[in-house]
Structure 1
């Protein structure tokens, strides 16, 4: 008889459901909650936006979250291996997820480095009288929109520090590193942000900002783009569709409550977004009041909100240093817990594919990532590269991969009944035909419409007017390579040391029996006989 594959090592897991929930919330609650949701809500109907937002959460966000949980928990593996265990033909989706997270990690670390520096700048308002000029000039040294390798020392050091801390945390493993970090940072984040919101509400003009945010524009509900924006916000903020929740759910105990935990994570994420909206617009109301203008004149989102608008508020508000430390500290903690989840997807995939020890896989992933991130994100062209990567990887990565995953599993593999049964066996909230219909019909329609309209817009109008020398390599080529590389890697054989990992955990079958033996369909007849 031939040699048999070694039994796979016992998979790491979170010590409890509480730790998993903290980790999942840590991934979901990120920069987008703080600097994206408030403006999206304001710009799409104000208080009326909460209706499509809630509908999107219930009809797409939670169903997709349950979808990810079921794949990860059933497969008990990284995204590529979990999809492979569902069906060999779906493995490429998992590698696509890893590529998406690789790209996101490159630029996400830079935003954390900026937040760290700005938290220190808050102590003495280092940005001076003109935060906008300081950010693009003295801080980032932004040049013309062209690729440059002129390094900015002020970014290089904090960027290296972020990667070093991340390496230390993730080398400790799933429970002692990933889980423990989230258990520490998420409560701190919530405390800091609640204090920030309470402080912002005391500022003169705060309720002017809240009125601008929550005054409903009911006519907006007739605009399809408002509904598209609501669904888009839910997908981006819940961390669904690109492997994170698949990976995290694979670390849950076998008897975990998947749907109950998913509901807690989903509503906690939305609750934090609402809290962020209150805090941000209370501060913007103060800014508008101080400038003698309408809130619409100062309302913004993303990088402009964080590194230009808020420094202006900090300089003008009484006790502005406190606001600065709380705001940029919140960005740093929220971003770091999300960064952990992003890199964990890649580390888990490398461990499964090559049968590597945790520390070796972590080093193999983070060291090259840190070098690439440093090369592109600590230069004078970093802002342009970051903006392009973020836009294209969200559109042709997260949206496209989510759409392909749903369509493939629902229609080509017909795996939704299997996932439904798994959720019902491991969940306090039961799902059935409605859940499958929402995933197979509503979600593809929304994602497909959003993807098509975005592609048409990008083809007709170059993104932000950037030159092709930036858009082609960092936008279009990057997006295509994510898919091509994913397909190529999925066709490569698994290493001998990891072949045992292809054996899935025991799964229940009809009649109450348990399937404990599995034959990998990719093995040869000789291997099967051995």
Structure 2
């Protein structure tokens, strides 16, 4: 076995963990989530979810990764070989996300270049769907590959795989030490100028004015827990892998709290950035913000370019925003890459460089499908099912398995042995009851919704072919990999008594 790499510093680890947590969703999902769920009042369930679920789950994953020193399959195999499949489920989920996430990053990279000359023109919506994507009317009709998107996708894969290829300390840590300060700098510069625009304060009022009646609704609380869960990159092997490179004396609880607080702080900062611009846009067009507020792809590639066209110094704002979007996407993609590469290294007992080349080659080939005219619709279906079911199923099973079938008090003692912030009974209560209950509620709600009605109005054929089948691929992959032990079978394990039945 090769000597295991370690983070070069605590700052490097936190930067990498924050880089994984901070992604496109912080910028294009969180602001609209606040706006649509009671404004400032949404921050009450949001911070509650952060404290009683986000931080406890993050501490759990940091603790597992550091204690069992391995990728997700190795962690669960170390507890019981019968549970190795769960790690491979999470690895496959991360792999699938990477294949289409790379294309979204490619869109951002393309728009960064376009921003230098406002290449999206005076009608950003028509440009995005017709000229840029050449979008088809069905996910079953792919059309042709878009050359500029394909080239940018290759660039996204190259940039992220290079960080993973060169190692934990030399690649991932060094890259995130550049990316994270750069990202915050870009956003703060954007905010500093954006807040001086007329109408910006009106936008912030729309965002933060509280509607306290909203917090009585169960949906608002579910959205708050969902935002925390998805935003923190927990439940799909990233934090397990990253924590496995921590030195023995590392402070688990403190690192987890720092990661969560920085991520959530960035989400709020992103809300200020986005809604200050929307406030200006609404004033310029003479319409209420409710008419233009949106989230996701539409916000990033249609609404914001429209707003940028109306701004003074549009090239400045455009390049700043899309560079920030690109950096946020690349930092998250690096972490997704590491999940798969780490698992391949340990399972096949091969070098990091070889594992990176294998993964990059296969991943890039699959990504090509999402660069076609039907790529946006394919991406929409796959993303919906892999996030609403793939990620959630892995997270639910992981937390229930560890909290109820393992000696969680032993894990708590292990975490406390090297942590300044000591966790107690409230932490155990959260991972045993609160977090599993909310995740199960979300999973059941998603399942009922998608069984009763096809997602997004797509045909049953499309949702079966690209949605439900994606989950079956995860199951098959997890079952296949867990039946072939290879290198894992050679690992001396002294932690079998972590299971309660031992």
TM category, shorter: over 0.9
- 1:526 — aligned with what? none
Contact 1:29 1:272 survives alignment (8 Å): yes
Q: Indicate which of 288, 292, 316 corresponds to 1:298.
A: 292
Q: Indicate which of 399, 402, 421 corresponds to 1:429.
A: 421
Cα gap change, 1:160 to 1:508, in 2 (>3 Å): closer
- 1:131 — aligned with what? 124
Q: SS state of the match for residue 122, structure 1?
A: helix
Q: Indicate which of 482, 486, 492 corresponds to 1:503.
A: 492
Residue 464, structure 1, aligned to residue 453, structure 2: no
- 1:515 — aligned with what? none
Alpha-carbon offset, residue 468 of structure 1: 2.5
Contact 1:122 1:314 survives alignment (8 Å): no
Q: Indicate which of 378, 382, 388 corresponds to 2:375.
A: 382
Alpha-carbon deviations, 1:484-525, whole Å to 9, x = none?
321232122224xx644x225x77999xxxxxxxxxx9xxxx
Residue 152, structure 1, aligned to residue 146, structure 2: yes
Residue 71, structure 1, aligned to residue 60, structure 2: no
Higher Cα radius of gyration: 1
- 1:313 — aligned with what? 307
Q: Indicate which of 2, 8, 16 corresponds to 1:9.
A: 2
- 2:73 — aligned with what? 80
Distance 2:161 2:377 in 1: 27
Residue 208, structure 1, aligned to residue 202, structure 2: yes
> Within 5 A, what are the aligned runs for 1:32-431?
32-147=25-140, 148-374=142-368, 376-411=369-404, 413-431=405-423
Distance 2:381 2:496 in 1: 45
Contact 2:79 2:496 survives alignment (8 Å): no
- 1:528 — aligned with what? none
Alpha-carbon deviations, 1:48-94, whole Å to 9, x = none?
00100000000000000011111100011111001111222321111
Distance 2:139 2:357 in 1: 32
Alpha-carbon deviations, 1:234-260, whole Å to 9, x = none?
001111110000000001111100100
Q: Which segments of 5 or more consecutive residues in structure 2 lack a partner in the other structure?
A: none
TM-score by length of 2: 0.97
Distance 2:32 2:137 in 1: 28
Alpha-carbon offset, residue 144 of structure 1: 1.4
Contact 2:73 2:343 survives alignment (8 Å): yes
- 1:440 — aligned with what? 432
Alpha-carbon offset, residue 28 of structure 1: 0.5
Q: SS state of the match for residue 136, structure 1?
A: helix
Contact 2:79 2:495 survives alignment (8 Å): no
Cα gap change, 1:25 to 1:198, in 2 (>3 Å): same
Contact 1:209 1:285 survives alignment (8 Å): yes
Alpha-carbon offset, residue 432 of structure 1: 2.1
Alpha-carbon deviations, 1:115-174, whole Å to 9, x = none?
011011111111111111110000000011133151111211111111122232221011
Q: CA RMSD in A?
A: 1.6
Alpha-carbon offset, residue 303 of structure 1: 0.3
- 2:486 — aligned with what? 494
Alpha-carbon deviations, 1:441-465, whole Å to 9, x = none?
1111101111111111111111111
Q: Which segments of 5 or more consecutive residues in structure 1 lack a partner in the other structure?
A: 1-7, 511-520, 522-530
Structure 1 stretches of 4+ moved >6 Å: 506-510
Distance 2:150 2:30 in 1: 30
Alpha-carbon deviations, 1:184-221, whole Å to 9, x = none?
11111110111011111111110110000000000001
Distance 1:130 1:503 in 2: 62
Distance 1:361 1:426 in 2: 32
Q: SS state of the match for residue 146, structure 1?
A: coil
Q: SS state of the match for residue 251, structure 1?
A: coil
Distance 2:395 2:182 in 1: 32
Q: Indicate which of 462, 468, 475 corresponds to 2:467.
A: 475
TM-score by length of 1: 0.92
Alpha-carbon offset, residue 433 of structure 1: 1.8
